[in-house]
Amino acid sequence: MKKSFLTLALAAFLTVPAFASVDAEVEGMEYEVRGDGTFLIGGPTYAFDRILGAGGTFSESELWTPAKLRDRLLFNRMSGTPSWTPLAPSVWLKTGNELGDLIYQNLLPSDKAYPANRTPFLEIGVTTPSYKGFWVTARLFQDDHFSEKMYSYRVGMVDNSFAHFGENYPLFSTAYAGFGYTNSMVNASVIAGEEYLWTYTATARWIPTHFKPRIEARADVKNVSVTLAYEDAEYMNKSKKERGSRQEVNGSIYYQCDEACKQGKLQISAGLAFRGVSDSGTVYTELEEDRSFWPFVELRYQPLKRLTADVMFGINERDWLVQDSVQFDIPTPKTMGVTVGVKNISGTRLNPLADTKEFLGDRTIDLTADGQMTLVQGYAVFNDTVASLNYGGKGSFWAEYGAETFDVDGFVDENSYFFRYGNVDRIDSWIKGVTAEIWLNAWYQDMFKFNAMVGFERISGLAKKLEVTPAEYFVAFTGDWLINKTFRISHSVKYRSDARWNLRSIDPLVVKGDWYWDVTFEQNFPKYGITFAGTLLHVLANEVVEVPNGSHDRLRFVCTARKSF
């Protein structure tokens, strides 16, 4: 099936030769090095990730789509972090630290004030080459970044060590190992491991979860994909003498339109996603009836080469969700592309697999809202290429009725950290937005690429009821150099304007606009399959808290050594 317009619109200007970009710290955090929207980071496991032009008031990870079937469901959001997707055959070591580590301090003159020591990142792993189709993999990784601000609160909740190593109580610490089999028709794997994870909930709490174990099996056979995971999760709050557990089975089966099907005018894909849980002791969320089954169908109808209609529809006993679009490619000169279309998202919940209640002491928070939401968006995208120059733009107008929000009844103060209570509700009026974005790409053979982008969004309506008032505009510049076909320099400089959290703290939290500079240096030795890379993230940005009850966003350095097989 064709991906959503958001993916297509994002890719529309990538019609020039492909270049590598600034490396993300870890899979699932690619939004951190992007400039084209609002990306507020509470930690590797939680972010408000919203592409400019996406339409609607919600974070992208809140919306369920078939493309996210293998993403982790962390509380009520689909997340690619921490990733359990087996990596390509190689052996690697990846490490880094926030500015302030002891090595950095030793480089400073003695008369300079030393910054406080900060938190590290470490990853080590291997995926072996295939032997008669069989391979094995193992990985240990944890990200201590964003784990400092609530340390004093979290340290009293768990046992002496809540990680595989270290003393920072990181937001995730994961270790797994497994094996797989791959041939021309089958790609299958089984992975088992232990994981420590802090989950950010609707009340703005970080809940400790210890998976012991987590097991995930995947199989792709021709055009059928199957995923099955078992999770034995332990919850705890030592300071309140609370302890509970959840045993969960979740997964999916997904049939995708094959090559023969794609040749026809009507293309059909279908699948089933499911969860089943069994809770005991003190747990902090609930899934109604302890189960959720989500059958869905994707249809594409293409009566003309330039006209495409897509729809995804899912329904169960609690919820329904429809995502559809109609798109037309306007006839233009050979080098130019112009696409116009309209899309709609309607449903009772953005994520029908999500938990339905949360508990804060003796209070129950309803995570479902009566009624439905409707988002309607019209858009246009154009791009043109002249010699080694590509330029284009996109614009849209959207309107959303019944947007999900949180009706705050009050806050609980625990050691100067504030947790909200109330219920998920709807905004019973129209929220409207208009967006525009333009870009310019230039390149020279495979040696150099430059990209400049600028965009804005203006939203009208009851903005104070939005979880996040997004950034109104951004500018971004990226440059990539490939020297002697072995040495890569990728960097980006971007600015995002102010954004604001409205409902997760007593006073709205304004995240001030800032400049960001990210850069990667990479040396390849193709003859030996060896790569060394170093990345600096958020060099120019101020150290700010981007999410209530989150930690500071800081400059950090991550380096990788990899031997590919």
The DSSP code for 32 is G
**pLDDT, mean over the chain:** 92
Res. 12: pLDDT tops 80: no
Res. 106: pLDDT tops 70: no
Q: How far apart are CA 244 and CA 211, in angstroms?
A: 12
pLDDT average, residue stretch 394-422: 95
Q: Give pairs for 147-150: CB < 8 Å, separation 24+.
A: 147/43, 147/119, 147/171, 147/198, 147/551, 148/118, 148/119, 148/551, 148/552, 149/545, 149/549, 149/550, 149/551, 149/552, 150/206, 150/417, 150/549, 150/550, 150/551
Q: How far apart are CA 198 and CA 548, in angstroms?
A: 15
Looking at residue 102, its pLDDT comes to 56
Q: How far apart are CA 71 and CA 69, in angstroms?
A: 6
Res. 9: pLDDT tops 50: no
Please state whether the peptide bond connecting residue 526 to the residue before it is cis, i.e. omega within 30 degrees of 0: no
Res. 250: pLDDT tops 90: yes
**Which residue did the predictor score with more confidence, 310 or 100?**
310
Q: How far apart are CA 271 and CA 291, in angstroms?
A: 17
The DSSP code for 68 is G
Domains along the chain with CATH numbers: 5-564 (2.40.170.20)
Q: Residue 534 carries which side chain, given as an amino acid letter?
A: G
Q: How far apart are CA 409 and CA 363, in angstroms?
A: 11
Looking at residue 114, its pLDDT comes to 61
Residue 227 β-bridge partners? 218, 252
DSSP per residue, 73-139: EETTEEE-SS--SPPPSEEEEEEEEETT-HHHHHHS-TTSPPPPP--EEEEEEEEPPPBTTEEEEEE
Res. 20: pLDDT tops 80: no
Looking at residue 7, its pLDDT comes to 38
Q: How confident is the model at residue 149 (pLDDT cuts 50, 70, 90)?
A: confident
Looking at residue 101, its pLDDT comes to 55
pLDDT average, residue stretch 80-88: 95
Residue 129 C-alpha from the chain's centroid: 29
Q: How far apart are CA 446 and CA 17, in angstroms?
A: 7
Q: How far apart are CA 33 and CA 28, in angstroms?
A: 11
pTM for the full predicted model = 0.91
Res. 258: pLDDT tops 90: no
pLDDT one-digit tens code per residue, 166-209: 888 999 999 999 999 999 999 999 999 999 999 999 999 999 99
Which of 195, 207, 233 has the alpha carbon at shortest distance from 153?
A: 207
pLDDT average, residue stretch 75-94: 96
Q: Where are the beta strands (DSSP E) in 134-200?
A: 134-143, 172-182, 186-200
pLDDT one-digit tens code per residue, 510-542: 999 999 999 999 999 999 999 999 999 998 898
Q: How confident is the model at residue 112 (pLDDT cuts 50, 70, 90)?
A: low
Query: Distance between the two ends of the chain, CA-based, in angstroms?
Result: 32
The DSSP code for 36 is S
Res. 342: pLDDT tops 80: yes
DSSP per residue, 361-416: TTEEEE---SS-EEEEEEEEEEEEEETTEEEEEEEEEEEEEEEEEEEEEEEEEETT
Looking at residue 264, its pLDDT comes to 86
Res. 82: pLDDT tops 90: yes
Q: How far apart are CA 284 and CA 351, in angstroms?
A: 19
Question: Is the separation of the CB atoms in 284 and 359 below 8 Å?
Answer: yes
Query: Exposed/middle/buried for 131, CB within 10 Å: 0-12, 13-18, 19+?
Result: exposed
Question: Is the separation of the CB atoms in 7 and 394 below 8 Å?
Answer: no
Q: How confident is the model at residue 118 (pLDDT cuts 50, 70, 90)?
A: confident
Looking at residue 385, its pLDDT comes to 94
Looking at residue 261, its pLDDT comes to 82
State both tokens at 344: 């709609």
Which of 84, 77, 99, 189 has the alpha carbon at shortest distance from 135?
A: 189
Please state whether the peptide bond connecting residue 120 to the residue before it is cis, i.e. omega within 30 degrees of 0: no
Q: How far apart are CA 257 and CA 439, in angstroms?
A: 33
Q: Residue 30 carries which side chain, given as an amino acid letter?
A: E
Q: How confident is the model at residue 334 (pLDDT cuts 50, 70, 90)?
A: confident
Question: Is the separation of the CB atoms in 407 and 426 below 8 Å?
Answer: no
Q: What angle do CA 425, 431, 437 make, to 5 degrees?
A: 130
Taken in order 234, 69, 50, 519, the sign of the CA dihedral is positive
Least confident of 145-154, 192-201, 308-317: 145-154
Taken in order 64, 65, 70, 71, the sign of the CA dihedral is negative
